[in-house]
Amino acid sequence: MAAIGRFRKGDEIFYAKIVDGELFRAHGDIFGSPTFDKKPTPRKGVKTLVPVTPSKVINVGLNYADHAREMKRELPKTPLFWFKATTALLADGGKIEIPFPQHQTEFEAELAIVIGRKTRNVTPSAASRYIFGYTASQDITDRTIQHSESQWSRSKSFDTFAPLGPYVETQIDPTDLTIQLFQNGHLRQNSNTREMIFKPAEIVSFISTNLTLLPGDVILTGSPSGVAPIQSGDRLEVRIQGLAPLTNSVK
């Protein structure tokens, strides 16, 4: 497998492998040993969906040293994580909706892990075997609410606050990837995953010692510095080396 996506055509929802822009439908468990059509499915009338349907979305915070500094927070000694509502998920091309225009709402580009196997108490050295792949994401945040509360889930769980996709890349090394965010064509975030405090395998291992991860679960691995406010009319594009870009607008 390589890039895997989830799509809708009419009333039918299906997974497919993406090769040179063409879709080859999957048959069987996408997290098991699926087979794929030899002929591509016509793209006409096909809509790209969020690439997986997780039982939970987990955020890891302050995982880039430069972002911790800009937020004026100490570096964590272990991964700091919390939950983001699955109803916040938004597909590539979807519109991010700002619920309180008077609040400061900001973008955060992130590399997301997609879990491929039931995962519990795995070591960092074994964790990569439980990862299905990686995709681009955003952790949209209402800073006004976040700064007023000690728990962060509400500020990050509004509908549309978790853009994800468009595809899951199953064959990529996540340890040295450029990660960027463009706002209306202007580069706002520009970093590399090697700047992470906790690497993806460490994150999966640590979380798995606290709770069971299931196939399709999503872990957002933190954002680099450069986060900034969004407003209606913005066009946001996350570009992570080796992944298809994730593009969303704001209203």
Give the C-alpha separation, 229 to 227, whole Å: 7
Q: What is the pLDDT of residues 78-113, one digit of tens each?
A: 999 999 999 999 999 999 999 999 999 999 999 999
Q: What is the pLDDT of residues 107-163, one digit of tens each?
A: 999 999 999 999 999 999 999 999 999 999 999 999 999 999 988 999 999 999 999
Q: How is the beta sheet containing 246-250 ordered, strand by strand?
A: 95-96, 246-250, 235-240, 178-183, 186-192
In order of start, what are the domains of the chain with their CATH numbers?
3-48 (2.30.30), 57-250 (3.90.850.10)
Q: Is the pLDDT of residue 1 over 70?
A: no
- Output the average pLDDT for the chain: 96
Q: Which of 25, 20, 28 is nearest to 9 (CA)?
A: 25
Phi-psi bin for 11: left (phi > 0), alpha (psi -120 to 50), beta? alpha
Contact residues for 186 (Cβ-Cβ < 8 A; gap 6+)? none
Mean pLDDT of 174-193: 97
Q: What is the pTM of this model?
A: 0.96
